[in-house]
Amino acid sequence: MPHKFKIVSRKDDQFGVQFLYNSEIMVWSESYKAKSSAKNCIDSIKRNAPGAPIVDLTKDESGSGYRFEIAGSKNGEFFTRFVASNGETMVRSETYTDKRNAINCAESIAKNAPDAPVEDES
């Protein structure tokens, strides 16, 4: 399967989550002090991303609950982030010059995350 999650080591004995397509990182998480927190992040994305709405913040849309947000960056590009029901960003993408690519990223995560295998590289 070309989509997968990775648990990776970060500095200071912390852990991060990545979601990849082939070898390209689509989104990544903040650093977690415990590997169990990284695993919880993955489980939550697998469970909540399918069917999560895509909210376009560049059009002043708003949302609540688990959701994808399309946001604008300072340089005029766009990125996507997956947000938990408590408002915390779980993962975010690189920036894209075309907003459609940020939307495609969100749609791909929603479709492919539930069945994606998890590799622990930490």
Q: Is the pLDDT of residue 100 over 90?
A: yes
The pair phi, psi for residue 40, each rounded to 5°, is: -65, -40
Domain that holds residue 97: 3-120
pTM score: 0.92
- Residue-wise pLDDT tens digits, 54-80: 999 999 999 999 999 999 999 999 999
């622990």: which residue's tokens?
Answer: 120
Number of domains in the chain: 1
CATH code assigned at 74: 2.30.29.80
């949302």: which residue's tokens?
Answer: 63
